[in-house]
Amino acid sequence: MMRRPPRSTQSRSSAASDVYKRQGINAEYMGSSLNPSWKSFEIKAARLCSGNYDVSVKVELSHYVKGDKDKYIGEFIFTIEQLKAGSRQFELSSTKSKSVGTIILEQFDVVNKPEFIDYLRGGTQISLIAAIDFTGSNGIPTRPDSLHAINASGGQNQYQAALRAVSEILLNYDHDKLVPLYGFGAKPRFPGLF
């Protein structure tokens, strides 16, 4: 997580409800405008730096005044590698390359979240199990507008189409290729069995 840099460091015109928007991320403004801070947020490395930790990330800061144009304050540049190495303090420079303040990133973490393929590579076994809802809320099976209706032309109903679409993908990862199928909410009529 990274602390979002301040929008305003020059006046008290920014209210606590100001929101700093960058790349579609909303970081909630907290504290005074003379020493501002923002709540922590998460951003994927793919979005921030295309997953390349050596790519420079440029942050521009502006002072927001309601009903007026944003006033440019300054900018700073960092890389994820710098943050990983412990750098947390950056000089905020204006367009004339003069220092207009210091930005301190109070919190930074790189969190590796495994993806589906990582679990498979790690030896996780997957078992596909399916269940069908036979309750009356899906309609009477003999009516064509029911989710369970059997198409006279041999086409699939919505349940069959959904089960097939999902199963065709997941069955490739099922370790034994056996799929238990359950149903609930029905009253089975099997003469001689029940």
Q: What is the pLDDT of residues 31-49, one digit of tens each?
A: 666 677 777 888 888 888 8
Q: What is the pLDDT of residue 80?
A: 92
- Give the range among 8-22, 55-69, 87-101, 156-170 with minimum mean pLDDT: 8-22
| 170-194 residue pLDDT tens | 898 898 999 998 988 877 777 776 5
Q: What is the pLDDT of residue 149?
A: 82
CB 48 within 8 A of CB 79: no
Structure tokens at 55: 């790519």
Q: How many CA atoms lie within 13 A of 35 on its CB side?
A: 0
Q: Is 77 helix (H, G, I), strand (E, B) or coil?
A: strand
Kindly give the pairing relationship between strand 89-93 and strand 99-104.
antiparallel
Residues 6+ apart with CB under 8 A from 171: 128, 177, 179
- Say whether pLDDT at 147 is over 60: yes
Residues 6+ apart with CB under 8 A from 18: 7, 8, 29, 64
Rounded to whole angstroms, what are the CA distances from 70 to 18, 60, 61? Answer: 12, 11, 9
Q: What is the pLDDT of residue 141?
A: 76
Residue length, the chain? 194
Kindly give the pairing relationship between strand 181-184 and strand 130-133.
parallel
Rounded to whole angstroms, what are the CA distances from 73 to 9, 18, 67, 158? Answer: 8, 16, 18, 57
Question: How would residue 28 be classed by pLDDT, with cut points 50, 70 and 90?
Answer: low
- Return the residue matching tokens 């000089």: 91
Q: Is 153 helix (H, G, I), strand (E, B) or coil?
A: coil
The predicted model scores a pTM of 0.49
Q: Which helix (H) or strand (E) holds 125?
A: none
Q: Is 37 helix (H, G, I), strand (E, B) or coil?
A: strand
Question: How would residue 66 be classed by pLDDT, with cut points 50, 70 and 90?
Answer: confident
Q: Taking residues 67-90, what's their average pLDDT?
A: 88
- Return the residue matching tokens 């015109």: 13
